[in-house]
Structure 1
Amino acid sequence: MEKSLVSIITPSFNCEKFIAKTILSVQNQTYKNWEMIIVDDCSSDETVSIIKEISSQDNRIQLFLLDVNSGTGIARNTALEKATGKYIAFLDADDLWKPLKLELQIDFLKKHNLPFTFSFYECINEAGESLNRRIESPRNLSYRQLFFCNYVGNLTGIYEVNYFGKIPISPIRKRQDWVHWLTILKKIKTAQPVPESLAFYRIRENSISASKYELLKHNFAVYRTFHRFNLVVSILCMTGFLFTQLIIKPRYVKSLI
């Protein structure tokens, strides 16, 4: 039986140091029926040249170029418009998948009759070295839990188009992935992860993930902009968010040492 097509959404911008390895991690998947749709957001380095060279030898990789620098949201939505797969998956241009990632997740979706799943993942630094940290999540993640903490790594989420349709990426500048998963959980109420690490998330210098202040600022913007809460309610939500980060989430961050 032919396996269902998976569309992989990848925005790129000045990632010449990482993009070849990111694409290789997709090419090394044991699940072979995929299309990788890369939308470049006006890179000024050799990113586009590298992608063109690789895609010339693998027609599953498609490259599209934005005319003006527009941000990851526009790039992801452009890729989403081009997607033709039954499943939508996400992989940023500096992250990596383990070889069994797609196969295990698609099997998990089918076995449990689910429209959405994700997985645990590990953190690496800019040089690709392990930070000896695995990010896990509750085994039955509820909307309320996700509301106060984004347990779903963007590089791990997969959803079925026949169930949800193509879900547009939020126009907010940052934390688009969190908003995406909240939109999904609001409909299905709970989600189950594949309970093992299937990907590597790269933490780069000066990234939002590396800056606690920037992370808090953009999370607050989600409560104000996406949920449209007033200032007082947003502050109360941030109090719950901070409590989760300091008291609850640490039990889901596992040391690999």
Structure 2
Amino acid sequence: MTEKVLDNNVLVSIGIPFFNCENYLEDAINSVINQSYSNWELILVDDGSSDSSTKIAEQYQNIDSRIKLYCDGTNLGLPSRLNQLSDLALGEYYFRMDADDIMHPERIKTQLAYLIDNPTVDLVGSGLIAIDNQNRIIGLRKGLNKDFYSLNDIVNGYWCVHPTVAGKTVWFKQNKYDPNLKRAQDYDLWIRTIQTSHLSKIEKPLLFYREASTPSLQKYKIAAFNSIKIYVKNREIIGSMKAIIFIFIKLVKLFIYFIYNLFNLTDRLIDRRSFKLESNSYQEYKEILETAVKSKVALQVMK
């Protein structure tokens, strides 16, 4: 690790967009507060929540000056909020995160050290531990770990899961998400930028990713059709024939998901994404997770 990181001189911006996430937001924020690296700002942007999410965010803003809440009462959608977050970021480096996920206590320290030690890298992802809605560990998410990813890797989905990404703030300010894409906006951004950007990945799991909070046929269908839209709009980058092949594959996967959903078996598809952990590793990550979400203050929020 570099002396610069040890000296805690680098300001890091963490961006969390949220919408009706009262069941998970406290854990997400606590996992930022419990980071081993402390020179950060946490930007919370509400996308028109109607539950107690905003009240939770307000209370944390009141107890920690590093936490900033932005709330305009409107629902603009995730990609617009992601662009807003990077525009608001003051740090030299920017960390993505979702409101239903949990940071490993060493996440910022580890990814920041990697970015500083590898100045040609624009974005770095990480491995992750999948969890369910009750913070129970599902397993270690499968993936391909490389120091440099190609266009072919990105199109095939071999890079990383979106909320594990960290990178140079200027990169996010210069490369925007497409506000017209309801889902898979990250996938589109990686495809559009991979030929001029250096994307890398750390194998170590640095995020507890909530696999089970979003599975539904409707959401999968929206993601699938947005992916098809991405293949069409980026066919000159991908190649027309490859774009057609990927569209066909996506439609087949949608049909398979429909069949699994018909028989209430979608959890099996989620389980297939992860490796089961050995008992020692399971216990280790269980303890890390408990440490990450441990609250240093009791909030009184009426839900």
Q: TM-score, normalised by structure 1?
A: 0.85
Q: Distance in 2 between matches of 1:164 and 1:15?
A: 24
Instruction: Determine the C-alpha separation between the residues in 1 that align with 2:30 and 2:160.
Output: 23
Instruction: Identify if the C-alpha distance between structure 1 residues 77 and 162 changes in structure 2 by more than 3 Å, giving closer, same or farther.
Output: closer
Where does residue 182 of structure 1 map in the other structure?
Answer: 191
Q: Which moved more, 1:161-170 or 1:66-75?
A: 161-170
Change (3 A) 1:10 1:208: farther
Give the letter for the 1:200 counterpart: F
The verdict on how the C-alpha distance between 1:102 and 1:255 changes in structure 2, with shifts beyond 3 A counting, is same
- Map residues 151-166 of structure 1 onto 2, 5 A cutoff: 151-162=159-170, 165-166=173-174
Contact 2:183 2:223 in 1 (8 A): no
Say if 1:55 and 1:61, in contact at 8 Å, map to a contact too. yes
Q: Which one is further off, 12-21 or 64-73?
A: 64-73
1:109-188 equivalence runs, <5 A = 109-113=115-119, 114-139=121-146, 140-149=148-157, 151-162=159-170, 165-171=173-179, 172-188=181-197
Kept in 1, the 8 Å contact 2:27–2:102? The answer is yes
Q: Contact (CA 8 Å) 2:144, 2:158: kept in 1 or not? A: no
Task: Report the Cα offset of residue 81 of structure 1.
Answer: 1.8
Query: Would the aligned equivalents of 2:86 and 2:172 in 1 still touch at CA under 8 Å?
Result: no
Q: 2-side partners of 1:209 and 1:123: how far apart?
A: 20
Query: Which of 205, 220, 228 is 1:220 aligned to?
Result: 228
Deviation, structure 1 residue 218: 2.8
Q: Report the more deviating stretch, 6-15 or 215-224.
A: 215-224
**Equivalent residue, structure 2, for 1:256:** 277
State, as a whole percentage, how many aligned pairs show the same letter.
Answer: 25
Name the CA distance, whole Å, in 1 between partners of 2:190 and 2:272: 21
Structure 2 residue matching 1:123: 3-state secondary structure:
strand
The Cα RMSD (Å) is: 3.1
In the alignment of these two chains, the number of paired residues is 252
Pair 1:254–1:57, CA change in 2 (3 A): same
Question: For residue 223 of structure 1, what is the amino acid of its counterpart?
Answer: Y
Bigger proportion of residues as strand: 1
- Does 2:279 match 1:235? no
The answer to whether the Cα contact below 8 Å between 1:41 and 1:65 also exists between their aligned partners in 2 is yes
Deviation, 1:47, is 0.4
Unaligned runs of 5+ residues in structure 2 are: 1-6, 257-270, 279-303
**One-letter amino acid of the counterpart of residue 119, structure 1:** S
Say whether the 8 Å CA contact 1:101–1:199 is kept in structure 2.
yes
Deviation at 1:227, TM superposition (A): 4.7
The CA deviation string for residues 19-44 of structure 1, in whole angstroms up to 9 with x for no partner, is 01100001111111111111101111
- Structure 1 gaps of 5+ residues are none
In structure 1, what is the Cα distance between the partners aligned to 2:161 and 2:217?
Answer: 12
Contact 1:80 1:166 in 2 (8 A): no
Q: 1:199 aligns with which of 195, 207, 211?
A: 207
The Cα shift of 1:210 comes to: 9.6
Q: How far apart are 1:73 and its partner, in Å?
A: 1.4
Letter in structure 1 aligned against 2:20:
N
Question: Residue 2 and residue 138 in structure 1: after superposition, are their counterparts in 2 closer, same or farther (change >3 A)?
Answer: closer
CA distance in structure 2 between the aligned counterparts of 1:120 and 1:209, rounded to whole angstroms: 26
Q: Match for residue 9 of structure 2? A: 3
TM-score by length of 2: 0.73
Q: Deviations over 1:15-71 (max 9, x none)?
A: 001001100001111111111111101111100001101110111111111332111
8 A Cα contact 1:136 1:254, kept in partner: no
Structure 2: distance between partners of 1:205 and 1:163: 29
Aligned residue identity for 1:151: W
Are the aligned partners of 2:87 and 2:173 in contact in 1 as well (CA < 8 Å)?
Answer: no
